[in-house]
Structure 1
Amino acid sequence: MVATTPLSPPREEIRNAEAAAPRRHRPQQLLWPFALTFAVTSYGLTAPLLGRDELITWEVVTRDAGHILATLHNVDAVHGTYYLLMHLWVSLFGDSVISMRLPSVLAASGAAAVLSLIGKRLFGSRAGILAGILFAFVPAVSRYAQEVRSYALVILLAALATLLLLRVLDRPRSPWRWAAYALTLLGLGLLHVIALSVVAAHACMLAAHARRDRSLWWKSALALLAVAVCLAPLVLLSRSQVNTQLWWIQVPDGWALLAIWQDILASGACAGALIGFAVLARSPRRSALLLCGVWAILPPVLVWLASQGDVSYFRPAYLLFTIPAWALLAGAGLSAACQSWKAATALLAVLAVLNLFDQRQVRQPYDHDAPIMQTPLDYRSAADLIRKHYRPGDAAVYDREHSWKIDAGVKYYLPRGLKMRDVFLQSAPSEINQLTAVDCSVPDQCLKGEQRIWLLSHGADPDPFNAINQGQASVLRNRYKPSWSQSLAGMTVTLLVRND
């Protein structure tokens, strides 16, 4: 009798069988990336001070829902969905630093788990787990998982939309899967319209499969049209506000486009490692590599092109949703290069060591304002100083001419029961449904005879009156004199006492 060797199943059948693996393997596929990302991103969660954007979030979400909607009509409509979600969260769990940053930590951890599932479908189980682990090591993931803004949620929804697209392609006749995909895209657009450029990668995947099922053309067009119609009012409103919100973003040159991936990942070493691993990525299905490659590269190019006009949108934070694509390609490359878990673990350990400096950097006290403000402000130390020397009846003057949100920063870190009248404040942002306050036009009429006033000014000028509005300074000079002054990072705290 002649021995026969059983035929090996085709690679496509192997992939399909792996995608339909028993559910008992799924917890491990999800657990390791989620747990590691949660551990990494929650470490040092309270170390960085709230940045300017986070203070805006805090100010807006602590208003009632009616005032939030009125504010969105005037400014920042693009972040409206996030503000409303955080308003609900803060009303339930409070506005501590941990409470407000926790949703971003959970979103980043969830994104790692979803990423692992995508990797399993496209490149295999080990590649998926490695992709989730590599995602956790990216310094930018920690940076924005610790920020009270929508970016971590955007990453999660971009990854989830991609996973749901793959599920649609498994069963394109299911209206429920199309609905889930469309609703996730709608949520993504509501959180950040620019992130919808991920659809360019989805379109490539749909086109590759439409050769076998032409109904995908009209089904996907219908789903995307429904999303576009729902988002049209938000896009139009946001477009009307863009000149007042993004005026400070510079028009990018060619070098900015070449350097963007290092900025997105917040680490040159991490960018080099992920790109190096990504080059090694292999798959029997070209559509898998096409999906991840277009997802990683095309959105920054599209945003760069869109930023060559009157308004620039080219900011690394707006392109963070491309990080999962790089992690997927790098996970596939690392899996292909290492035939054992020991070898892969050794390379991961080396990458973790290389990233230590950048991981530490994103947890520095003033890092959340570093990309925006050249001179970060030490709100927490200023608040501690006032708390230590405070007396009932004390008032405050905030430098709103040179330091936007110095008032919100100090007020956040002051004890909630410590109240000081804002001497020159005419209208608080919450009263006029804006993000900025309005000072009284006649400063002399705003003084109420306070015996002591805390002056919080920008910089370290020996004469703190030079740092504030000169009309206010003139009034204060005539009636008050500095008792003592202390310079902190980026600002000066001065106690003024009334002339006898």
Structure 2
Amino acid sequence: MTTLTSPVQDAETQPETTRRKRLLAASVGLWMWPALTTLAIVSLRIDGPQLGTDELVTSDVARRSLGQTLAMLHNVDAVHSTYYVLMHGWMTVFGDSETAMRMPSALAMSGTAALVALIGRRLFDARAGMCGGLLFALIPVVSRFAQEARSYALVVMAATLATFLLLRALDAPRRWWRWVGYALCVVVVGLLHLIALTVLAGHFALVAYRARQEGGGVLWRFCLAALAGAAGVIPVVVLGTSQASRQLFWVPEPDLWGLADFWPQLFVSGLCAGVVITLAAMAWKERRDALLLCFTVAVLPPFVLWAASHGDVSYFRFQYALFTVPAWTVLAGAGLARAARSWRTIAVALTVLGLLVLPDQRRMRGEFEHDVPHNADYQAAARTIEKYYHPGDVAVYVKGAPWMLDQGVRYYLRPGLKLREVFVATPAAENNELFPVYCAAPVACLRGENRIWVVVPGNDPDPLNAVPASQAKALRAQYTTSGTAPLSGLTVALLERKR
């Protein structure tokens, strides 16, 4: 039987339905436009830069079997274990091209832009959220690490999601499942990068303020969720701490000037840093709790890193605090929304900022931007070898941190062309390490090969000067250099057996 409704009921129901549809459309548009704008910007020339050292490590480790990867993590890089496992699955499905390897980072930064908009709406209003999300899309450092096959972009998204989930939990603190969601997100943050757990300092400041204002047991709920989340990463903490001195021995201890120079590095643009911080300062009259959260998340972690870097190990790298950038853009979005009187003014301001940072955006997409300051042209080295390759050729790659010449050249060699490494006794994957085991007696590893390709860092006229002494001695005794190709950051040489 059909239910009949009167014209009066239809008139009452229709406006309410229309209003809900408009609210839904506005809510979707709030996060969708910043996300799509960010994705469009960061996808531009995503395959332009050659793989950097860290990306080559990602490529090498993620292509190993899961068993080999897990075995390696007991010796090195345990702090990146979650990322390597994720990338192993991703590359199994989508391949290992530059675009495929970098796309998770691009998608993560796009998701972060959406979260920035949603957080801005919760803390201020929808206008501020939209401004913050669009500002985030324009920041050069976002493009830089959205185009890098490392965990930093995923860390940024996870830490920002944790902030968003905390705000939702604070909206209804008695709903325990919201705190469970927050705790699980804290686990993910720690698994992706332990240092990102410093975001909890900012979260604690907000919760402590709310507890003083409202009470209701919110503080103990937060502490329980945060501690449960942090406890979930204890195995990574134990392994990571034991490996820290080996992995970060080269990071210098920061002085006071390093702390002052941190902010331009964080945005990879002094101009952009100045604009964002100025806009953030213009939001100073907004809600106190909102300002407290954004300010503490943006500022406290770098100071914690700086203070912690005066012991045996220094952790003071701007990449490790990249997750603070969304907090700056939330504040900057609120400042821009407050200063601008119309959407037209906001559009003009964003356009001007986009034009001002355009040189930095172009620089982020430079061919060697991911391998500064070495600027090693692995692609040209691979093309050189391919051009003059003869069946039976073998190779010697001079390897050692931070150089990854073997992985770089192998990555860019055409599929099917594999050069046996003469002096490698045990490959890195079988050694459960990032580096292989070399022959103890190099001369015994030579098998009468007619031609050997040698790839070394730098452009020394005699490339064998860069080869370890024992290996160079064995090569000089039996081979002569028939040709060299000095390239950006490295040299390719062809040795031929003496007659």
> Shorter-chain-normalised TM-score: which range?
over 0.9
Q: What's 1:146 paired with? A: 147
Partners of 1:369 and 1:466 lie apart in 2 by 23
Q: What's 1:376 paired with? A: 375
CA contact (8 A) 1:482 1:494 kept: yes
Identity among equivalent positions (%) equals: 49
Q: What's 1:115 paired with? A: 116
Q: What's 2:296 paired with? A: 294
**1:254 maps to amino acid:** L
Q: What's 2:95 paired with? A: 94
Provide the secondary structure at the position in 1 that maps to 2:482: strand
Summarize the alignment of residues 441-456 of structure 1 with structure 2, pairs less than 5 Å apart.
441-456=440-455
Q: Does residue 28 of structure 1 match 2:29?
A: yes
Q: What's 2:282 paired with? A: 280
Provide the secondary structure at the position in 1 that maps to 2:74: helix
CA contact (8 A) 1:107 1:153 kept: yes
| Greater Cα shift, 61-70 or 200-209 | 200-209
CA contact (8 A) 2:53 2:402 kept: no
CA contact (8 A) 1:402 1:458 kept: no
CA contact (8 A) 1:377 1:489 kept: yes
Q: What's 2:384 paired with? A: 385
Q: What's 2:434 paired with? A: 435
Alpha-carbon offset, residue 478 of structure 1 = 1.7
Partners of 1:245 and 1:239 lie apart in 2 by 10
Alpha-carbon offset, residue 80 of structure 1 = 0.4
**1:241 maps to amino acid:** Q
Q: What's 1:198 paired with? A: 199
Q: What's 1:14 paired with? A: none
Q: What's 1:335 paired with? A: 337
Provide the secondary structure at the position in 2 that maps to 1:345: helix
CA RMSD of aligned residues (A): 1.5
Please, which runs of 5 or more residues in structure 2 have no aligned partner? 1-20
| Cα 1:214/1:178, change in 2 over 3 Å | same
Q: Deviations over 1:96-116 (max 9, x none)?
A: 111110000000000000110
Provide the secondary structure at the position in 1 that maps to 2:35: helix
**2:427 maps to amino acid:** A
Give the ranges of 4+ consecutive aligned residues of structure 1 lying more than 3 Å apart after TM superposition: none
Q: What's 1:422 paired with? A: 421
CA contact (8 A) 2:298 2:328 kept: yes
| Cα 1:402/1:244, change in 2 over 3 Å | closer
Alpha-carbon offset, residue 208 of structure 1 = 2.1
Partners of 1:487 and 1:275 lie apart in 2 by 44
Q: What's 1:459 paired with? A: 458
Provide the secondary structure at the position in 2 that maps to 1:48: coil
Partners of 2:272 and 2:340 lie apart in 1 by 19
Provide the secondary structure at the position in 2 that maps to 1:22: helix
Alpha-carbon offset, residue 68 of structure 1 = 0.9
| Greater Cα shift, 289-298 or 275-284 | 275-284
Alpha-carbon offset, residue 282 of structure 1 = 4.6
Partners of 1:283 and 1:86 lie apart in 2 by 44
Q: What's 1:63 paired with? A: 64
The TM-score with structure 2 as length reference comes to 0.94
Alpha-carbon offset, residue 477 of structure 1 = 1.3
Q: What's 1:472 paired with? A: 471
**1:66 maps to amino acid:** G
Alpha-carbon offset, residue 214 of structure 1 = 3.0
| Cα 1:405/1:88, change in 2 over 3 Å | same
Partners of 1:143 and 1:381 lie apart in 2 by 23
CA contact (8 A) 2:186 2:230 kept: no
Partners of 1:264 and 1:284 lie apart in 2 by 25
Summarize the alignment of residues 297-376 of structure 1 with structure 2, pairs less than 5 Å apart.
297-370=299-372, 374-376=373-375
| Cα 1:172/1:347, change in 2 over 3 Å | same
CA contact (8 A) 2:190 2:230 kept: no
Partners of 1:306 and 1:63 lie apart in 2 by 34
Q: Deviations over 1:281-308 (max 9, x none)?
A: 1554210011101111111001100111
Provide the secondary structure at the position in 2 that maps to 1:309: coil
Partners of 1:175 and 1:401 lie apart in 2 by 50
Q: What's 2:224 paired with? A: 222
Alpha-carbon offset, residue 353 of structure 1 = 1.2
Partners of 1:123 and 1:436 lie apart in 2 by 50
CA contact (8 A) 1:282 1:332 kept: no
Provide the secondary structure at the position in 2 that maps to 1:74: coil
Q: Deviations over 1:79-100 (max 9, x none)?
A: 0000011111111111111111
CA contact (8 A) 1:282 1:336 kept: no
**1:482 maps to amino acid:** T
Q: Does residue 47 of structure 1 match 2:48?
A: yes
Partners of 1:483 and 1:328 lie apart in 2 by 60
CA contact (8 A) 2:77 2:243 kept: yes
Alpha-carbon offset, residue 228 of structure 1 = 2.3
CA contact (8 A) 1:403 1:458 kept: no
CA contact (8 A) 1:123 1:283 kept: no
Aligned equivalent of 2:241, options 239, 242, 245 = 239
Q: What's 2:4 paired with? A: none
Alpha-carbon offset, residue 361 of structure 1 = 1.1
Q: What's 1:11 paired with? A: none
Partners of 1:377 and 1:254 lie apart in 2 by 32
The TM-score with structure 1 as length reference comes to 0.94
Alpha-carbon offset, residue 401 of structure 1 = 5.1
Alpha-carbon offset, residue 475 of structure 1 = 1.3
Provide the secondary structure at the position in 2 that maps to 1:23: helix
| Cα 1:282/1:339, change in 2 over 3 Å | farther
Alpha-carbon offset, residue 348 of structure 1 = 1.0
Alpha-carbon offset, residue 316 of structure 1 = 0.5
Alpha-carbon offset, residue 454 of structure 1 = 0.7
Provide the secondary structure at the position in 2 that maps to 1:426: strand
Partners of 1:402 and 1:81 lie apart in 2 by 23
| Cα 1:312/1:223, change in 2 over 3 Å | same
| Cα 1:401/1:199, change in 2 over 3 Å | closer
Alpha-carbon offset, residue 376 of structure 1 = 2.3
Partners of 2:324 and 2:209 lie apart in 1 by 21
**What is the aligned length?**
479
**1:464 maps to amino acid:** P
Partners of 1:189 and 1:107 lie apart in 2 by 16
Please, which runs of 5 or more residues in structure 1 have no aligned partner? 1-19
Partners of 2:460 and 2:227 lie apart in 1 by 57
CA contact (8 A) 2:43 2:106 kept: yes
Alpha-carbon offset, residue 23 of structure 1 = 2.2
